[in-house]
Amino acid sequence: MAEIKYESKIGKVNASAGSVYAVLTNLENLQRFADVIPQDKIKELEINRESIRFKVEGLGPKITIGIVDQEENKMIKYGAENIPIPLDAWIQLKEVDTHETCMRITIKTDLPVMFRMMLDKKMQIGLDQAIDMLCQIQYE
């Protein structure tokens, strides 16, 4: 297995880094997107301020995603438990001015070479779609 890092494209939002940080560090705010989650794949979704728990069809126990580290207005790091492959993800924030913040999502994981070949493109597409979604949120 080899440690691999994936980075999204850079997204821009019309909000201060403080506003973006405040929304993304309270995971209850993700409740707004519960209706777009495919109900046939994700079951038993539980969201609270510090974590998200859900069951993925065919993957065993509930997966937990929670905040494991943060630097105010600059970075939020998320960790995952009960997943088949170790995974860390973080969102970096850089305020351009009081009404514009750039952000990027980074994922670090250990993948066997065979899985990497199958997942590289899908991971990049998924991260870029995630950053697009995050840029559409009203932060202020």
Predicted local distance difference test score (pLDDT) of residue 78: 95
Whether 82 is in a domain gets the answer: yes
Predicted local distance difference test score (pLDDT) of residue 114: 80
Cβ neighbours of residue 131 closer than 8 Å, sequence gap 6 or more: 8, 9, 10, 11, 103, 104, 105
Nearest-angstrom CA–CA distance, 134 and 107: 15
Q: Which two tokens stand for residue 88?
A: 């860390």
Whether 129 is in a domain gets the answer: yes
Q: Which two tokens stand for residue 27?
A: 């995971």
Domain that holds residue 120: 2-135
3-class DSSP state for residue 64? strand
Nearest-angstrom CA–CA distance, 47 and 2: 32
Given a cut of 50, the residues of the chain with pLDDT beneath it are none
Predicted local distance difference test score (pLDDT) of residue 36: 65
Predicted local distance difference test score (pLDDT) of residue 1: 66
Whether 140 is in a domain gets the answer: no
Split into its structural domains, the chain has a count of 1
CATH of the domain at 81: 3.30.530.20
3-class DSSP state for residue 99? coil
